[in-house]
Chain A
Amino acid sequence: KQEVTQIPAALSVPEGENLVLNCSFTDSAIYNLQWFRQDPGKGLTSLLLIQSSQREQTSGRLNASLDKSSGRSTLYIAASQPGDSATYLCAVLLDSTLGRLYFGRGTQLTVWP
């Protein structure tokens, strides 16, 4: 059974800081890993998708890395802004034909001015 853990559970920082959010998973035989953002009362927005054969993906100030063999991924947020405040969720896909995602419990990020 796949278990996904995210550390820290919550993070509060002043704007401008560079941040690292961690995600670990127990079954390293993943197909891909996806990072999402969830704003209060809203849905999940896909941020980055990393295929199992990739080491990292970048989008703007976001960079996600994947170390499949050790069961870890990190989401790096550069020069954080108050608008980055949200819950960040990590999810792994084991079987591409099923499409089922296993989620972590998220990191709640607050960036204050």
Chain B
Amino acid sequence: DTAVSQTPKYLVTQMGNDKSIKCEQNLGHDTMYWYKQDSKKFLKIMFSYNNKELIINETVPNRFSPKSPDKAHLNLHINSLELGDSAVYFCASSQTTGGMNTEAFFGQGTRLTVV
């Protein structure tokens, strides 16, 4: 019973294509995130959504567009893929309101390779 699940796990695509990564959490958390892990394994936040509202939007090219249809889902759509977009993308969730435990949980990652 996976807490945070994202699909696909691997994605190989050509430059210029458009692709989407999907994420779902069953923890009842109110906030979801996208993190990018670069080739040097450094994790950095891209976006966060709280109850379907965009809260954090880091300096990310506007070719990246997150969408949250409900608070349990956060998808990432990438237009016009470039070689430099190759990385591992992690979805995560946590509870940020109500003074509750804010422990973050991560998905298994999507390894995107642009060729």
Secondary structure of the A contact surface, majority rule: strand
Q: Are B41 and A87 in contact (CB under 8 A)?
A: yes
With contacts A43-B107, A103-B43 taken as known, whether A31 is within 8 angstroms of B56 at the C-beta atoms is no
CB distance from B112 to the nearest CB of A (A): 14
Does A99 contact B102, Cβ atoms closer than 8 Å? yes
| B1 at interface by CB-CB < 8 Å | no
Q: Please name the residue on chain A nearest to B107 by beta carbon.
A: A43
Number of interface residues of A (CB under 8 A): 24
**In the complex, how many residues of chain B place their beta carbon closer than 8 angstroms to a beta carbon of chain A?**
29
Given A44-B90, A101-B45, A103-B44; A96-B108 close (CB under 8 Å): no
Chain A residues closer than 8 Å to B41, beta-carbon distance: 87, 105-106
Q: Which residue of chain A is the closest to B4 with respect to CB atoms?
A: A43
**Any B CB within 8 A of the CB of A55:** no
How many Å lie between the Cα of A51 and that of B99 in the bound state? 12
